[in-house]
Amino acid sequence: MPKAFWKGAISFGLVVIPVSMSVAIRERPLRFNYLHKKDLVKPSQVLHCPEDDEYFSVKDTVRGYEYAKGQYIVITDKDFEAVPIKTTRSIDLQAFVGEDEIDPIFFFDSHYLEPQPLGEKPFRLLREAMLSTGKVAVAKVTFARKEHLACLRPYGNGLILHSMRYPGEIVPAPETPEPKSESSKAELDMAQSLIKSMAQPFDPKQYKDEYRLALEKIIDAKLKGKKIEPPKAPPEKETADLMAALEASLAKSKEKATAGKGK
């Protein structure tokens, strides 16, 4: 069970719903260390102050904001906690919108919300109301030293909060040139048939991090002294006969689907 890292309340009009928040995403990267090439020893991190020529550790550091060139003001944890903004302890629901109105490019993290004992009834009411109206909430909340734009929506028997990017944080998409030629009706029909042949309900359990699994195999092979052969990159070439490629892809997709039913 994930441990709550934030406690506060959902501010819903004049309704206050005490809740706790816990992480919903667990990253599991393979971790690597920089080593001294000569003897494969992990180096010690050393901090050096050029002003007084002293070496010091991380515990002797403070957090500073540069308000002018070379001029800093120290900001402590208490300063962050004292920021005068209501979203420090409140998930402030700003509006309710259709879930399909929010482009996925805005989402980047997820957190579970659980009701505190006094918030059980209004928590369930809010969830049921959003389900029945088909709406999700756009909210603002402050944690990790930042006020986050967020989307609150029903998830399972509870609620989940997705952190969102602000519009100014999203880089404009590169300009895509106009197509030099239109697709023929036959090509479009064949492409649609290929998509339909590959259509299936989304099941996240069938997808694996193939890169991680392959990297683990490389690590195991190197430990055993085996040689690793890198994969060959596919040649860059234009699809000369698009219709033939679509037909072959459709046939392969149908063959795969038939083989899957036979298992």
Q: Helix or strand or coil: residue 82?
A: coil
Q: Are 68 and 151 found together in one domain?
A: yes
Give, for 217, the enclosing helix (H) or strand (E).
Answer: helix 210-223
Here the tokens at position 211 are: 């890169």
- Average confidence (pLDDT) over 214-234: 82
CATH number at residue 120: 2.40.290.10
Tokens of 89: 């302890």
Q: Do residues 111 and 82 share a domain?
A: yes
Q: What is the mean pLDDT of the chain?
A: 87
Structural domain of 256: 182-196+240-263
Amino acid 262: pLDDT: 63
* Residue appearing with tokens 């492409």: 191
| Tokens 């899957």 -> residue | 260
54 and 144: one domain? yes
Query: Residue 101: pLDDT above 80?
Result: yes
CB of 228 within 8 A of CB of 217?
Answer: no
Residue 171 in this model has a pLDDT that exceeds 80: yes
Q: Which of 162, 12, 163, 139 is nearest to 87 (CA)?
A: 139
Q: Are residues 249 and 144 in the same domain?
A: no
Domain count, the chain: 2
Scored b (16 or more CB within 10 A) or e, 1-17 reads: eeebebebbbbbeeeeb
Confidence label for 203 from pLDDT (cuts 50, 70 and 90): very high
pLDDT of residue 239: 60
21 and 114 in a single domain? The answer is yes
pLDDT tens, residue by residue, 27-42: 888 888 888 888 888 8
Evaluate whether 21 touches 30 at the Cβ level (below 8 Å).
no
Residue 231 pLDDT exceeds 70: yes
Q: Are residues 260 and 154 in the same domain?
A: no
pLDDT-based confidence at 82, cuts 50/70/90?
A: confident
User: What's the mean pLDDT in 13-31?
Assistant: 88
pLDDT score recorded for residue 152: 97
pLDDT confidence band for 224 (50 / 70 / 90): confident
Q: Is residue 232 part of a domain?
A: no
Q: What is the pLDDT of residue 198?
A: 85
Same domain, 190 and 103: no
Burial class (CB in 10 A: 0-12, 13-18, 19+), 246: buried
Quick one: which H or E segment has residue 124? Answer: helix 120-133
Cα torsion angle, 125, 127, 128, 133, sign: positive
- pTM assigned to the model: 0.76
